[in-house]
Structure 1
Amino acid sequence: MSQTMLELLLRSLWETVLMTAASGLISLLFGLPLGLALVATDRGGIACNRWVNSLLGAVVNGFRSVPFIILLVALIPLTRLIVGTSIGTWAAIVPLSIAATPYYARIAEVSLREVDRGLIEAVRAMGGGRWAIIREVLVPEALPGIVAGFTVTLVTLVGASAMAGAIGAGGLGDLAIRYGYQRFETAVMVAVVAVLIVLVCGIQWVGDRMVARLDRRA
């Protein structure tokens, strides 16, 4: 592989990491509260409201049901409105974040539902309110699952960012398409696949180590 191609590979790797990290952070900031809201407003929740729960569930399911490649195209007007362009790394962060947020919300919801209700009732018995339950019980007890789910979300975002390369988002996907596929440079394709494998394995390894440290049952 030439020096120029190596530089392109490193730049593409940085763009992929940037897209994954930025959209992952946004999905965490919005997805976790959304997951908490789904659990809290459900039947028997700490803020039971079936109408709100149904509405939130419908929105989450609606976005999750749309294939990412279609969502990329459908969100082009919104992407232009937010970042001023529909191509490039920063433009790809918008649809990646919107796709990842409901996905992570459902994963977080599953972890939050597994929290022992006896602990919630104990906090209630001591006079704790909704925020005390969320702060002292729900999030701490579900934290290993929340982190594990976030790791899965990041891995999914790596694949989605590569798919976004098909419409000019940059990153490793764009490099593989423009040079590996369209120019029939097998070495580039192999290099991109190898880097993606290492990147995904690295994210998974870090996530597994964090979960192991947080898991009180270990």
Structure 2
Amino acid sequence: MFVAAVSLFGFTGVSILSVLFHERVQRLSALDVGGRLLALFGTYVVVAYAAGRLIRRTGFILPLTLGFVLGAAATAGLATMGPGTPYSHVWWLYALFGAASRMVATAALVSVSHERAGMASGAVNAFRQVGTVTGSSLLGALLAGRLPSQLPDRLEAHGVPRAAWPAVEHAVFSGRSDGAAPPNVTAAVGDAFTFGVHTGMAVIAVVLLCAAPASALLVRNRPRLGAA
């Protein structure tokens, strides 16, 4: 249950923060954002086939721990994205995170007998929903809190006149704009938004990294190789 909740906390968090970053900071269309995240979701689906077979043979302490560590490393790498970061520099981080998440998510279902697979699936899905809700709400609130705290400094750094700050802040927080913003305003808002995304990615990386030793020490290792 712990593994399921933490796994979906990280997976949902990375997905939401990535969508917001590419849409709001890099100004990509919804279709372009979906194309970029195929590296994450596609790998997640493909690895599902091999992960179950691997875990049944090796036990699931190693895949669990390795999955959490690799997920933390990939998220830490995504926390370095900037407004001008090309996709060619980060696609492999999305693929790595997708593979790591799938390794972790598969472990709970292969740790029980086939007769109990339905019960395990239901229990795991319940806690996956807990992780999903926690990730989206907590990280969304964190992003919403970091954006206004950083915006004044970013506006000042980009030379935006103080008289224009209230209008910019209102447009950011309401999601409404009277027209195209000047380049320095767009850059300042993008920097503030990026800082919030980086903070959220750092939180996910820390949570996944802390889960690695916890799973290694507390989860029982019972590979099911078939009847004796």
Measured against the shorter chain, the TM-score band is 0.3 to 0.5
Q: TM-score, normalised by structure 1?
A: 0.36
TM-score by length of 2: 0.35
